[in-house]
Structure 1
Amino acid sequence: MLGKITHASLIAFLASHTVFANDDIIVTADRIKSTLEKSPSDIKVFEQDEIKKSSSMIELLSRESDLTLSQSGPMGGNISLFLRGTESYHVLVVIDGIVMNDPSNPTRQFDLGRLSLNNIERVEILKGSQGLLYGSNAIGGVVVITTKKGSENLSGSGFVDYGTFGTLNAGVNAQKKFNKTSVSFGADHLNTEGFSAANDSRNPNAEKDGEKRTTLNAGVSQEIAKGEFNLNYRYVNDKVDLDKGGGAGEDDPNDSQFTEQKFMKAGYTQNWSSGETTLNLTRSEHHRTLNVRSDSNHPTASSTTSKGEINGVAINHTQYFNDFFTQNYNFDYQHEEDQKKNSNENFSFFLYNRFEFGPAVVNAGARLDSNQSFGEHVTYKIALMHFFSAFNLKMAYSTGFRAPSLNQLHAPIYGNKNLTPEESQTAEIGVEVPVTENGKYTGTLFYTDIKDRLSYAPVTFINQNRGRARIIGVENVFNAKLMEGLNSNTSVTWLSARDMTAKKKLARRPNINVKTSVDFAPSNKELVSIEGDFTGKRNDVDNLGNTVHMPSFLIFNLRYEREFRANTSIYLKVKNLLDRDYEEVYGYGTGGRIASVGLRYVF
């Protein structure tokens, strides 16, 4: 949306940006393009103003009101992402049309901690069960990421920052359009000594667990008559030091994990007089090696490798019949395979419609999946938005599913070829209400029911469909422009997430989460951002499988940026400003106060 932008103009934009600017934000995650203002689905869009304030995808996503993140120790530690209280593996991640979820992972989830923000144009979070639009793994929602494309003039940026734990983060990206050819490139590298994953207050002699990660990405597009051909490539190389687990006695001096990921797409889009057709060929490769070296904890060294790949073909057509009726058709084929040649195939077709009747917008459709392992499955969705004079009303009902992973089906001893998919239903109702001339309240009540949950059986540990979860939540968000150059955002999310089979709370979901941020621009060349994050009480599980109660905590973060010469700025960031001692995951450290200083150049 912002295009090529200097730091001064970015800060001026933030200072003048109103909370009612949804009419010019285009959303694509809902398959049929529309403005955010007229989307009946619950979608959060992060554009360049938010992305430029964040150092990582995790930092960016943590600002969303009904999304909770828990990290097991320092950078590189496992990330748990709970969108509206659902599991991490209930969130599908898509970048430039490529499914990033790992088929070799026991639950087929993708670790967003290994995804950098360099060369990212926008991030959309589509909430609720989205089986209709995205198939398996979208019970909680979908994170849709779009990388930058070339523009007429050469544009891009470079950055370098250094901070606590010897953390060095640097990157560069550039975009350019040559006649009808657009090119884009990005590269970044992270190197940190880190801190002990196992909480060092429980392990006084714990060693540091660091991470080294390099990311390369590139894109090329070529306009051809009324169409466009495009290629995308993304490569991630990551090495992270590990501990055995969290808590006392879990420190390990030399365990490590190596991860290599490749994501590729070749696509073509043809524009017609009243529609467009897109063909995408995609491939993703995941390779992980866990190295356990000989020491006092492990007398015998070992190395475990897992590999997975997904190959896909998707044909999507959008037909614009008139200003009031749009239809979207999609055919999709996916083949996934692991290192043991276990594989699965899935064919799907969906039909999705958008109707606009005066003050009302309705999106509705259905999908059929035909899966090699479990047969046919139908999902559907209907979403309504109505504009009243005093407020806007949104309602939606949708279904979703999660197919068993290759590991859950075929793993030695624990696999079960008779598993069936988890199934979900989501219902939600929300309102958008102008509170003042420059303020808006958004409230959403949501309900998700998940049955046939996949989990290990007691004693045998064989995978089974044996659980049910019920999640109820209320999200409240208030945005306001308090004065010229001063904006605020506050959210309060109440959540009840329960395992109905075990009759207990789902782990790591706080009963209440409060997030607030204030952006203040003293001038058009500087910006001060202060954030507060209160995480309420929640349950977790210790190393013996016992339920433990985690206390609430409150942390504050600070960011200051100033442009000191044309297109060049310096920034300071402090996480956990008051140096609070807390744990996100039982037994794992959080690092205390973490500060960094950086330099950014935009061209």
Structure 2
Amino acid sequence: MFYKTALLGAVAFGASLSALAQTDTAEETKLDTITVNGSRLDQTLTEIGSSVSLITNEDLDELGVDFALDAVATAPGVTVNQNGAFGGNASVRIRGASSDQTLVLIDGVPVNDPTGTGGGYNFAYLDTDNIERIEVLKGPQSTLWGSDAIGGVVSITTKQPSEGLTGSVFGEYGSFNTLRGGAAISNASETGDFRIAATGLTTDGISKADEDNGNTEDDAYESQTVSAKGGLNLPNSVRLETSILWSDTESEYDSYSGSAQGNVADGDEVSNSETLTGYVTLKAPLFDGLLDNLVQIGYSDIERENVSNGAQSYLTEGDRVLYRYQGTLNINDANKLAFGAEREETSANDQDSAIDSLFALYEYKPVETLTLTGGVRIDDHDGFGSETTGRAAAAWNATDQLIVRASWAQGFKAPSIFQSTYICTFCGLTAPNPNLKPETSEAFDIGVEWRSADQRLMLGATVFDQETDNLIDFSFTAGYDNIAFVESQGIELVGAYSLTEWLNVSANYTYIDAEDGDGNELSRLPENSANVTLSLDPEGPFAGSVIVRHNGEEANTNGTDLDSWTRLDLTGRYDINEKVELYGRIENLFDEDYQQILGYGTPGTSGSLGIRLRF
């Protein structure tokens, strides 16, 4: 029944997009040159068989958003939830998988929080100004990236240094007394390159607990981010690279209240978070480029503190250290082999764990139009033993206009340090659950993508199915235990059309049917979601976009339903000259009153104006 519904939906959506869709013609003709970093084989968009959504720096400019969370939310198959705007805890779910099952990489380094209950990543603080692009790889990616990639991967690439000495400064002011600004300087030459950037944001914010429920106290937010990246070009095409990203945030939030909607109401609570991420990488080709070698040490650290009524109520600190080697053997035009080893050491609150991994990926192109990819990975966890995961994918360029993709993959996620060491004393337990096992998943997807001969129209559809076993959740009999099974299936539809050389429209729609083993609908997950973007870029100094985002009805954790909502945003940019740009954004133009999570408010009509100087 599901596949019949999905097929009918694809036909209906495709028919409607013949009048409503978008593409950037110049960009789409370069599909065979756009490399997907998350593939680990440097595959292009015409070669990768996995389903991936790419959000470029140009897309970020068009969206005009301050936080990566709002950009990722526009990708098909992605669901975001945030406990109130401006610093509220924010999660990203891919195709119905838990947010703790989304692995986040920044320049290839895992940054998931090792101190969190499930080891997920909080998207609340990540500013977009330092981001070059975001890749959303959907479905299990454990063969590529190991534990935590059981539901998908969000791979973030930071901005690269520009050729010659360049720089920029920007500042903006908006609703809720919001100030945001930053500066960057970079240089690149034959010898090497560097880029240094800093951004900051401060706002009075709005009440985290919904103002409609009588919560009138605004919850402020402020953050600072500093980044540095550099590279040195050595003899024989050897390159040494390093990067560091530091951020510090302070976010006010509201208190638990058992009698209030969503159990949240005004209160004097503050969350402080400091994060540090960095890496050192050596790239060394051998045998005239036949074998590319990468050696990398990566590091991420997080410290979180909660303050309640002026007194510290919670403090936690953890870090990850990654040791990675990858060799890529370019055998010939038809065969490529990537292989490597990794060790990841994780600590949280004086508890440690480690995983040793070996992986191999093979790409075979029997003909120019067909790319087959297979891989296997063995992860050996010091507390939970070995897990082997495999994957297979195919991309067939059936014609110059039609691409067919298919993939099958397995995933696994080792229990977090918190889950594996937690002792539920009020449950009468005296030790952690000794029978806890890793979560595992298996999934497949099949998709088609068609482009018109003139490259103006693009239509695509992907059907997916994923099962997750041994899902970990809290249990009063064991603390944390493998007590759940989840099946998620659905369809993603995308379309794009260039109405004129300067007027484009794009759209995507996602249907997700996700249930646990008892047939219960998963909470905080809409069955239906969609995004539409109308882009205007006529000749001249002005460019702008109209962005519509729809989130369907979804179940709350208390058994009630959260209403669907639709929001419309406007963005605009005006180039005074080559060095000076004015830009602005209006969010929630029609003042939609909605919640992402029960009890938590969202901003009404609001906006900002800014100026950017380049030199």
TM over 0.5: yes
Confirm whether residue 477 of structure 1 aligns to residue 487 of structure 2. Answer: no
Q: CA deviation at 1:84?
A: 1.2
SS at match of 2:59: helix
Q: What is the aligned partner in structure 1 of residue 410 from structure 2?
A: 399
User: CA, structure 1 residues 255+582, in 2 after alignment: closer, same or farther (shift >3 Å)?
Assistant: same
Q: Is the 8 A contact 2:471 2:485 kept in 1?
A: yes
Residues 276-333 of structure 1, C-alpha deviation per residue, up to 9 Å, x if partnerless?
1011111111100111116xxxxxx542101111111000111100000000012000
What letter is aligned with 1:337?
S
Which of 320, 338, 342 is 2:351 aligned to? 342
Q: What is the aligned partner in structure 2 of residue 466 from structure 1?
A: 483
Q: Is the 8 A contact 2:433 2:478 kept in 1?
A: no
Q: What is the aligned partner in structure 2 of residue 373 from structure 1?
A: 383
SS at match of 2:204: strand
Q: What is the aligned partner in structure 2 of residue 114 from structure 1?
A: 125
How far, CA to CA, are the matches of 2:315 and 2:503 in structure 1? Answer: 51
Confirm whether residue 488 of structure 1 aligns to residue 498 of structure 2. Answer: no
User: CA, structure 1 residues 445+20, in 2 after alignment: closer, same or farther (shift >3 Å)?
Assistant: farther
Q: CA deviation at 1:554?
A: 1.1
Q: What is the aligned partner in structure 2 of residue 8 from structure 1?
A: none
Confirm whether residue 387 of structure 1 aligns to residue 387 of structure 2. Answer: no
Residues 437-493 of structure 1, C-alpha deviation per residue, up to 9 Å, x if partnerless?
310111000011001000011x44710001000000100001111111011111111
Q: What is the aligned partner in structure 2 of residue 237 from structure 1?
A: 248
Which of 268, 273, 278 is 1:264 aligned to? 278
Residues 169-205 of structure 1, C-alpha deviation per residue, up to 9 Å, x if partnerless?
1111221125412111110001011111111111x24
How far, CA to CA, are the matches of 2:48 and 2:375 in structure 1? Answer: 15
Q: CA deviation at 1:577?
A: 0.7
Q: CA deviation at 1:56?
A: 1.8
Q: Is the 8 A contact 2:394 2:406 kept in 1?
A: yes
Q: Is the 8 A contact 2:524 2:597 kept in 1?
A: yes
Map residues 492-531 of structure 1 onto 2, 5 A cutoff.
Answer: 492-501=509-518, 503-531=519-547
How far, CA to CA, are the matches of 2:458 and 2:215 in structure 1? Answer: 51
How far, CA to CA, are the matches of 1:526 and 1:118 in structure 2? Answer: 21
How far, CA to CA, are the matches of 2:334 and 2:608 in structure 1? Answer: 51
How far, CA to CA, are the matches of 1:224 and 1:342 in structure 2? Answer: 40
Q: Is the 8 A contact 1:15 1:520 kept in 2?
A: no
Confirm whether residue 40 of structure 1 aligns to residue 54 of structure 2. Answer: no
TM-score, normalised to structure 1's length? 0.92
How far, CA to CA, are the matches of 1:417 and 1:149 in structure 2? Answer: 46
Higher mean C-alpha displacement, 44-53 vs 264-273: 44-53
Q: CA deviation at 1:156?
A: 3.5
Confirm whether residue 353 of structure 1 aligns to residue 362 of structure 2. Answer: yes
SS at match of 2:119: coil
SS at match of 2:591: coil
TM-score, normalised to structure 2's length? 0.91
Q: How many residues align?
A: 576
User: CA, structure 1 residues 111+178, in 2 after alignment: closer, same or farther (shift >3 Å)?
Assistant: same
Q: What is the aligned partner in structure 2 of residue 328 from structure 1?
A: 338
Map residues 218-257 of structure 1 onto 2, 5 A cutoff.
Answer: 218-225=228-235, 226-245=237-256, 247-248=260-261, 250-257=264-271
Q: Is the 8 A contact 2:133 2:157 kept in 1?
A: yes
What letter is aligned with 2:335?
F
Q: What is the aligned partner in structure 2 of residue 440 from structure 1?
A: 458
What letter is aligned with 1:277?
N
Confirm whether residue 309 of structure 1 aligns to residue 314 of structure 2. Answer: no
Residues 340-390 of structure 1, C-alpha deviation per residue, up to 9 Å, x if partnerless?
x21111100000000112121101010001101110000010001112236
SS at match of 2:153: strand
Which of 413, 421, 425 is 2:442 aligned to? 425
Q: CA deviation at 1:58?
A: 1.4
How far, CA to CA, are the matches of 1:416 and 1:600 in structure 2? Answer: 55
Map residues 16-55 of structure 1 onto 2, 5 A cutoff.
Answer: 17=26, 19-53=28-62, 54-55=65-66
Q: What is the aligned partner in structure 2 of residue 575 from structure 1?
A: 587
SS at match of 1:195: coil
Q: Is the 8 A contact 1:65 1:491 kept in 2?
A: yes
Q: What is the aligned partner in structure 2 of residue 5 from structure 1?
A: none
Q: Is the 8 A contact 2:207 2:266 kept in 1?
A: no
Q: CA deviation at 1:260?
A: 0.7
SS at match of 1:279: strand
Q: Is the 8 A contact 1:95 1:147 kept in 2?
A: yes
What letter is aligned with 1:327?
L
SS at match of 2:40: coil
Q: CA deviation at 1:47?
A: 1.8
How far, CA to CA, are the matches of 2:320 and 2:441 in structure 1? Answer: 24
What letter is aligned with 1:198?
A
**Percent of residue pairs identical:** 25
Q: Is the 8 A contact 1:152 1:178 kept in 2?
A: yes
Q: What is the aligned partner in structure 2 of residue 74 from structure 1?
A: 85
Which of 582, 590, 613 is 1:601 aligned to? 613
Q: CA deviation at 1:15?
A: 7.1
Residues 542-572 of structure 1, C-alpha deviation per residue, up to 9 Å, x if partnerless?
xxxx211011111111011111122211111
Q: CA deviation at 1:261?
A: 0.7
Residues 5-56 of structure 1, C-alpha deviation per residue, up to 9 Å, x if partnerless?
xxxxxxxxx9764544422312111000122122222122222211223322
Q: Is the 8 A contact 1:15 1:485 kept in 2?
A: no
What letter is aligned with 2:270?
S
**What 5-or-longer segments of structure 2 have no aligned partner?**
1-22, 426-431
How far, CA to CA, are the matches of 1:365 and 1:16 in structure 2? Answer: 34
What letter is aligned with 1:329?
F
User: CA, structure 1 residues 250+122, in 2 after alignment: closer, same or farther (shift >3 Å)?
Assistant: closer
SS at match of 1:116: coil
Q: Is the 8 A contact 1:276 1:319 kept in 2?
A: yes
How far, CA to CA, are the matches of 1:229 and 1:162 in structure 2? Answer: 39
Which of 90, 102, 118 is 2:101 aligned to? 90
Give runs of ≥4 in structure 1 deviating > 6 Å.
Answer: none
- What value does the CA root-mean-square deviation take over the aligned residues? 1.7
What letter is aligned with 1:98?
V
User: CA, structure 1 residues 16+161, in 2 after alignment: closer, same or farther (shift >3 Å)?
Assistant: farther
**What 5-or-longer segments of structure 1 have no aligned partner?**
1-13, 295-300
User: CA, structure 1 residues 223+527, in 2 after alignment: closer, same or farther (shift >3 Å)?
Assistant: same
Q: CA deviation at 1:89?
A: 1.0
Confirm whether residue 166 of structure 1 aligns to residue 177 of structure 2. Answer: yes
User: CA, structure 1 residues 577+314, in 2 after alignment: closer, same or farther (shift >3 Å)?
Assistant: same
Q: What is the aligned partner in structure 1 of residue 470 from structure 2?
A: 452
Q: Is the 8 A contact 2:89 2:124 kept in 1?
A: yes
SS at match of 1:505: coil
How far, CA to CA, are the matches of 1:550 and 1:467 in structure 2? Answer: 23
Map residues 531-542 of structure 1 onto 2, 5 A cutoff.
Answer: 531-541=547-557
Q: Is the 8 A contact 2:209 2:215 kept in 1?
A: no
Q: CA deviation at 1:575?
A: 1.0
Confirm whether residue 285 of structure 1 aligns to residue 274 of structure 2. Answer: no
What letter is aligned with 2:552?
G
